[in-house]
């Protein structure tokens, strides 16, 4: 048993622990119920739950949510179309998202998987500065599939940018309250 100040009281029977909790005006909370013997602590339950929720919210706020986006290319694609699709994929990666890329093979194109690998290499080279290949190109049925994810520097820039956006939003909220 641990008291309200964090001092260990040793092994105490459950009746004595409950009576001590009532006497001091605190609640008896099982902090580690699965251990042998179970560890209990004297705390103000409302305050304990509030602080626990606060810590969970803080952890969720700091957590980065990685979304998986998808982009599809056809084997016979014009250079302008590739540049437009690559621009969108670059945007996804810069926002910290993972991108699954599919190359569609239609009809007789299936006889030329080497052309698909060449296109995949072109796409990978276009993003070599901001992304790494997390899933190498391979054929699955009529499609060639591979995956790109942001490298460490890109993720670091994204987190810094997101931190600035959060501070900016907080400042806007404060300034609107003054008015």
pTM strictly above 0.85: no
What stretches of the chain adopt beta strand conformation (E)?
A: 27-32, 39-43, 68-74, 98-104, 131-140, 143-150
pLDDT 10s per residue in the chain (179 long)?
888 888 888 888 888 888 988 888 888 888 888 888 888 888 888 888 898 899 998 888 777 677 899 999 998 889 899 999 999 999 998 888 899 999 999 989 999 899 999 999 999 999 999 899 998 999 999 999 999 999 888 888 887 877 776 666 656 655 555 54
CATH numeric code, 14-62: 3.10.20.80
Per-domain residue ranges of the chain = 14-62, 68-155
Q: Which CATH architecture has domain 68-155?
A: 2-Layer Sandwich (3.30)
Round to whole Å and give the CA distance between 8 and 19.
17
Cβ neighbours, 10 Å, residue 62: 9
């Amino acid at each position: 048993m641990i008291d309200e100040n964090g001092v260990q009281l040793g092994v105490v029977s459950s009746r004595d622990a409950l009576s001590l909790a009532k006497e001091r005006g605190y609640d008896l909370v099982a902090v580690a119920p699965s251990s042998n013997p179970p560890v209990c602590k004297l705390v103000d339950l409302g305050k304990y739950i509030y602080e626990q929720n606060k810590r969970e919210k803080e952890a969720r706020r700091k957590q980065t949510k990685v979304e998986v986006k998808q982009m599809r290319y056809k084997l016979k694609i014009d250079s302008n179309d590739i540049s437009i699709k690559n621009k969108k994929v670059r945007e996804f990666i810069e926002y910290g998202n993972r991108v699954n890329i599919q190359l569609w093979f239609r009809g007789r194109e299936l006889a030329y998987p080497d052309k698909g690998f060449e296109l995949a290499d072109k796409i990978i080279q276009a993003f070599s500065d901001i992304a790494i290949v997390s899933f190498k190109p391979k054929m699955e049925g009529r499609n060639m599939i591979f995956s790109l994810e942001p490298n460490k520097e890109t993720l670091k820039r994204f987190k810094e940018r997101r931190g600035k956006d959060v501070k900016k939003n907080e400042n806007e909220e404060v300034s609107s309250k003054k008015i």
